[in-house]
Chain A
Amino acid sequence: MTAEVATAQTVEDAARPRRKVARSDRARSEARLGWLLAGPAFVVMLLVTLYPILQATYDSLFAYRLTAPDDKEFIGLRNYVEVLTDSVFVQALLVTLLIMVVSVVVELLLGFALALVMHRAITQLRGLLRTVILVPYGIITVVSAFAWFYAFDINSGFVNHWFSWLPFIDTDLNWFAQQGTSLFVIIASEIWKTTPFISLLLLAGLAQVPTELEEAAEVDGATWWQRMRKVVLPNMKAAIMVAVLFRALDAFRIFDNVFIMTNGANGTTVLSLLAYRTSIGRLEIGLGSAISVILFLCVLLICFIAIKLFKVNLAGARGES
């Protein structure tokens, strides 16, 4: 009898058109306050991001050189065809992807190790340890790029002298004269600078793993590696994916390190530098805008792949899922 009533009630509920759940006055005023606080920033963000994006998209349809404004001509998608079929663009894209993949993978491994150290550090040392680990992330990228450049530079650098005992390093090694060694320094500088960022995100993920689960696994006789693989990592998957996504987007837009260290010499040109060189250096606003739009679309594609294919939950890192 009770079951029948309950079923009838459910059917009735389902049949009734869904009404908006009435919110309390408090909830409404909180929502309003939320909009008031976040609204201005939202509008400003729209203005400073949407306007340039739309302007760049519009400019990319023209043959337009800044020093010849009278010769501006609508050419449709011709700039895009030219960019996408150009060997310089393809090489820049491959170099950018290489930097992105290598730096994200290494940072993820190092960042996880650092997060574990920070997580497990004894209470007295925890504050000091986190500060020390975060120092590189606090340094402005241009400053860190110069520091790395001068460290490896053949004239002013100390690296060749300190590490000349290694078989592949001698005092005459010019790191910025070949593609391989140039990319090595650029990627190493990226890793040094942003591993703390990844480790912070992973630390937040580690903190969400319930200790009872780990303890239970330990009681059941699981080894350290088994606990990591079966308990810790699956429980912090959301944090890992968010860290990977954020860093991948960041690494894909790399500019400062390359600009300072090689300015694109020896096949180290990346997409952002190519866009800069075309728009700002050559003053070819149309062609440069087309590269910028393609760069933007690549970033969107990476977001799409991460969110849709790998099911990254952006709220997951905050423990909201």
Chain B
Amino acid sequence: MRRRTRALALAVVAGLVAPLAACSSDDGPPTLTWYINPDDGGQAEIAKRCTDAANGAYRIETSILPRDASAQREQLARRLAAKDSSIDIMSLDPPFIPELAEPGFLAPIPQDVADKVSQDVVQGALDGATWKGKLVTVPFWANTQLLWYRKSVAEKAGLDPSKTPVTWKQIIDAAKDQSKFLAVQGTKAESLTVWINALVESAGGHILTNPEAPADELKLGLETDAGKAAAEVMGTIGKEGLGGPGLPTADEGASLTLFQGDKGSFMVNWPFVWSATNAAVEDGTLDKSLLDDIGWGLYPQVTEGTKSRPPYGGINLGIGAFSKHVDDSLKAAQCIVTPENQAYYFATNGNPPSNTKSYEDADVKKAFPMADVIRESLENAAPRPQTPYYNEVSLGLQETWHPPASVNPATTPKKSTDFITSVLRGEQLL
């Protein structure tokens, strides 16, 4: 009886240990794990291409992060804080880079690699990949918002945004006169911060005036003419119902639906709207005449004659500081961001390249006739505040600038400044 028990115990232990032994194999090339944001399969295809190009030096496997950018950040930050060595390469949303760079969660990018991956890269993407004057991530793709408009509405209003940049006041007046809706993102989420930041930057200000300072010394730049001008635009759209009844919950997808509808006029949104509308027309859910009626131009100006600072987004590649294969990961990252791979990614998945060379690709020009406007927009784009406390700043803005109808230039900037300051000082919950 006892012998049988012992044999059973041995079998159980062997069963538990055998799979672990299989995992610890040191044979063969190292496998690099690339944590990616969900897409249409483009990053997995690039991983395959770079694995082939490595000629057996390494293999790249992808692992999918949550869909939401803040959930991606939460997962990566927690795993990096636990010194997770399985994270070799990460697709990172730019606003969260300082938070991971400051505590040393990202492996440093050697100068020679930094020089190489910075060549021909648009300024907005370089700014977003930098922390305290150093490139800490490899710029991959760079996103920006354009002004999308219905040609019929713009024509009636006497505007041609494709030739002359328009102002927020002009599109507000046009929508009001023609009883149309403006498609903007008013939901209490990151997209609201994106809008606030673009408005403040376009008005010549900054949400944070000293983003590299410690939490309790951070200073906000909202109680300025720029902050008030931003609040004026948002408050007017909210109060006058120009964003439609869905404005307080409108994200990028909802904005696109509004724009495609009968009351659509002008929309600020990322370039995915073009491929999404094309796909809908191909599927027969939207009429081809809608596609012909859509035009594009640079992001609206807050002050006439002053260049707008459009939103900047996208993905940069970070290398995990606790990875066992930092050198291979750096090589793999350089392969991932080649202009060819970026052009492929743009043409197939709709995510614009950070490398200007990719915009010369024939497939890109065919899929995105507005590619040159996107590149120009990226050169002017302003990153969101680059601080390790970005999450607090962003959530604090959402708390005080939502819903858009409640935004008042006389009170909101001060309320927002007081609230975010006390949260950063640890005096208030969020």
Question: Are B70 and A281 in contact, with the CB atoms below 8 A?
Answer: yes
A123 interfacial by beta-carbon distance below 8 Å: no
Question: Are B427 and A82 in contact, with the CB atoms below 8 A?
Answer: yes
A66 interfacial by beta-carbon distance below 8 Å: yes
A68 interfacial by beta-carbon distance below 8 Å: yes
From B78, which residue of chain A is reached at the shortest CB distance?
A: A66
Question: Are B430 and A174 in contact, with the CB atoms below 8 A?
Answer: no
Question: Are B248 and A83 in contact, with the CB atoms below 8 A?
Answer: no
Bound form: Cα–Cα A280–B71 in Å: 9
Question: Are B429 and A173 in contact, with the CB atoms below 8 A?
Answer: no
Question: Are B430 and A277 in contact, with the CB atoms below 8 A?
Answer: yes
In the complex, what residues of B have CB within 8 A of residue A70's CB?
A: 103
In the complex, what residues of B have CB within 8 A of residue A112's CB?
A: none
Question: Are A263 and B189 in contact, with the CB atoms below 8 A?
Answer: yes
Question: Are B103 and A176 in contact, with the CB atoms below 8 A?
Answer: no
Binary per-residue interface labels of chain B (271-311) against chain A in the complex, 1 for a CB within 8 Å, 0 otherwise? 00000000000000000000000000000000000000000
Tell me the minimal C-beta distance from A43 to chain B in angstroms.
Answer: 18
Bound form: Cα–Cα A274–B391 in Å: 15
Do A283 and B77 form a contact, CB below 8 Å, given A82-B426, A174-B246?
yes
A63 interfacial by beta-carbon distance below 8 Å: yes
A155 interfacial by beta-carbon distance below 8 Å: yes
Question: Are A67 and B81 in contact, with the CB atoms below 8 A?
Answer: yes
Bound form: Cα–Cα A135–B100 in Å: 45
From B398, which residue of chain A is reached at the shortest CB distance?
A: A265
Do A155 and B254 form a contact, CB below 8 Å, given A86-B429, A174-B246, A265-B402?
yes
Question: Are B99 and A63 in contact, with the CB atoms below 8 A?
Answer: no
Question: Are B391 and A282 in contact, with the CB atoms below 8 A?
Answer: yes
List which B375-419 residues lie within 8 A (CB) of chain A.
Answer: 388, 391-392, 395, 402-403
Contact with A88, one of B102, B103, B105, B429 (Cβ below 8 angstroms): B429
Bound form: Cα–Cα A277–B429 in Å: 10
Bound form: Cα–Cα A263–B429 in Å: 16
Binary per-residue interface labels of chain A (142-182) against chain B in the complex, 1 for a CB within 8 Å, 0 otherwise? 00000000000111000000000000000011101100000
Tell me the minimal C-beta distance from A172 to chain B in angstroms.
Answer: 4
Contact with A173, one of B188, B245, B403 (Cβ below 8 angstroms): B245
Question: Are A86 and B428 in contact, with the CB atoms below 8 A?
Answer: yes
Tell me the minimal C-beta distance from A234 to chain B in angstroms.
Answer: 45
Tell me the minimal C-beta distance from A214 to chain B in angstroms.
Answer: 51
In the complex, what residues of A have CB within 8 A of residue B70's CB?
A: 281
Bound form: Cα–Cα A173–B428 in Å: 33
Question: Are B249 and A281 in contact, with the CB atoms below 8 A?
Answer: no
Bound form: Cα–Cα A177–B248 in Å: 6
Question: Are A153 and B249 in contact, with the CB atoms below 8 A?
Answer: yes
A80 interfacial by beta-carbon distance below 8 Å: no
In the complex, what residues of A have CB within 8 A of residue B427's CB?
A: 82
From A280, which residue of chain B is reached at the shortest CB distance?
A: B74
A287 interfacial by beta-carbon distance below 8 Å: yes
Question: Are B248 and A63 in contact, with the CB atoms below 8 A?
Answer: no
A89 interfacial by beta-carbon distance below 8 Å: yes
Question: Are A66 and B249 in contact, with the CB atoms below 8 A?
Answer: no
Tell me the minimal C-beta distance from B87 to chain A in angstroms.
Answer: 15
A103 interfacial by beta-carbon distance below 8 Å: no
Question: Are A67 and B103 in contact, with the CB atoms below 8 A?
Answer: yes
Contact with B100, one of A67, A69, A153, A177 (Cβ below 8 angstroms): A67
A278 interfacial by beta-carbon distance below 8 Å: yes
List which B83-104 residues lie within 8 A (CB) of chain A.
Answer: 99-100, 102-103
Do A287 and B429 form a contact, CB below 8 Å, given A67-B99, A174-B248?
yes
In the complex, what residues of A have CB within 8 A of residue B392's CB?
A: 282
Closest 4 CB pairs of A and B: A177-B248, A265-B188, A172-B245, A88-B429
Pick 7 A–B contacts, CB within 8 A, sort by A. A82-B429, A88-B430, A177-B403, A266-B188, A274-B429, A283-B74, A283-B78
Given contacts A277-B430, A282-B430, 19 further A-B contacts (CB under 8 A): A63-B426, A66-B77, A66-B78, A67-B77, A67-B100, A67-B103, A67-B105, A82-B426, A82-B429, A88-B429, A89-B429, A174-B246, A177-B403, A263-B188, A265-B187, A266-B188, A266-B403, A274-B429, A281-B391
